[in-house]
Amino acid sequence: VFEQFGDHLLDFRYVLFDVHRYNDPELLEDANVIASVFFLDKRITFTEAVSRLHILADIVKEFSPNEFRWFKRWVNYSWASRLPEGIREKVSNIVLAGTPQEVEKMVSNLGLAIEDAFKEVRKETARAALRKGYPVDDVVDIAGLSRETVLRLKRDIEQERFVPQAR
């Protein structure tokens, strides 16, 4: 029935690009927006992604304003959507406000924001485990926090229990 649509039918041909077929040096060698996006798009942690952004900083500085705008949009779309809600807006603002001349600052701010978010997630995990009665050493292992931090959280939770409730 495609004849009924005449010139209004879309052609859905596309090229499939497997990012995992290319190694990192090959992607960095191209030094363009697409190769940079693919370099960041591999299945990696946020910490690894920030490290990769540091590696890309000199390449990204050379992008045209239009290329940089597309690169920022992609980073914002692909990263912000995967972050916890509390940090999503902060990361989005850092990315979208960046300029090619301030790439290192943007990357550093992203790294700090993401690390802060994960520290908070680890603390919430620790609080939940402590409230359920898990031993401190187990919480240290589970949350990846220092023993001192977990003990401080435990003291805070114990103090919350003894605060008289207002009537």
Please give the Cα distance from 69 to 63 (Å, whole number). Answer: 9
Please give the Cα distance from 93 to 95 (Å, whole number). Answer: 5
Taking 90 as the threshold, does the pLDDT of residue 49 lie above it? no
Residue where the block lists tokens 């990315």: 95
Give per-residue pLDDT as tens, 72-131.
Answer: 888 888 877 777 777 888 888 888 888 888 888 888 888 888 888 888 888 999 999 999
Please return the burial class of 142, using the count of CB atoms within 10 Å of its CB with bins 0-12, 13-18 and 19+. middle
Residues 6+ apart with CB under 8 A from 145: 122, 123, 126, 139, 153
pLDDT of residue 16: 66
The larger pLDDT score, comparing residue 148 to residue 84, is at 148
Please return the burial class of 84, using the count of CB atoms within 10 Å of its CB with bins 0-12, 13-18 and 19+. exposed
Please give the Cα distance from 24 to 48 (Å, whole number). Answer: 13
Please give the Cα distance from 131 to 112 (Å, whole number). Answer: 28
pLDDT band at 55 (very low <50, low <70, confident <90, very high): confident
pLDDT band at 37 (very low <50, low <70, confident <90, very high): confident
The larger pLDDT score, comparing residue 143 to residue 50, is at 143
Q: What is the DSSP string of 31-79?
A: -SHHHHHHHHHSS--HHHHHHHHHHHHHHHHTS-HHHHHHHHHHHIIII
Pair of tokens at residue 148: 């001192």
pLDDT of residue 127: 94
- % of the chain with per-residue pLDDT over 70: 86
pLDDT of residue 163: 60
